[in-house]
Amino acid sequence: MTRIVVGLGNPGPEYERTRHNVGFLVLDRLARQEGLLFRTARNLKDACEGDPVLGARPPYSGPKKFRFARSLDPDALWVKPETFMNLSGEVVAPLVRWAGAEPHDLMVVYDDLDLEPGVLRLRPWGGAGGQRGMRSIIDSLGTDRFPRLRVGIGRPRTDAARHVLEEFSEKELPDLEVTLAEAGEAVLDWLHSGDIEKCMTRFHSRWNQGD
């Protein structure tokens, strides 16, 4: 079964290094590590040509505001919606259905204000927690029963909307790189195994050692 990992963010160079785009950043780092290239949606048919799973599906006819990469080991579709954060479900739900995937075959990576910067949490399911991109996906899928990886960006003392759209500072970049590497390792583990519970057991024990 092809699994799907979605990183949430906003399209455009002005958002590239912002806190709200940490889902994109995790996937971008993994793509460099795994030698993958993100392509526009119009290339989806060509990328799946001859694919024993996705190549046998009917042509994708859903919204095309996304970029994707395809890997065979692990068997996965990597997706960055380009609808802007709050409309992420408009792309994610049609892609999941087109791929013939079940909700448990989807993982969403996104920023979380309620976790301290750099803190990572895996969950097998749950609510949106105020994250509008996740709310859009839950509403569009009609379920919250899919895995997710929350990446902490911390809650500011003042304006949360401004905070999420601020760029990471130079001082924060070294710690950010560590966070992205650890998040990527967890995503790969889940993509290979599909077992979110074992993944949680393995990585939470490691991440909590410094608590």
Other CB atoms within 10 Å distance of the CB of residue 109: 26
In angstroms, the CA 31 to CA 180 distance is 12
Contacts of 203 by beta carbon, 8 Å cutoff, 6+ apart:
120, 122, 182, 185, 186, 189
DSSP 138: H
Strands 66-72 and 39-40: antiparallel
Find the distance separating the first CA and the last CA of the chain, reported in whole Å: 36
Whose tokens are 């997710």? That residue is 148
Q: Given CA atoms 139, 140, 141, 146 in this order, what sign does their dihedral have?
A: negative
Instruction: Tell me the C-alpha distance between 103 and 186, whole Å.
Output: 18
Active-site residue, from 20, 104, 192, 204: 20
CB atoms within 10 A of CB 156: 14
Q: Quote the CA–CA distance of 20 and 82 in Å, as a whole number.
A: 13
Catalytic: 20? Answer: yes
> Which positions are annotated as active-site residues?
20
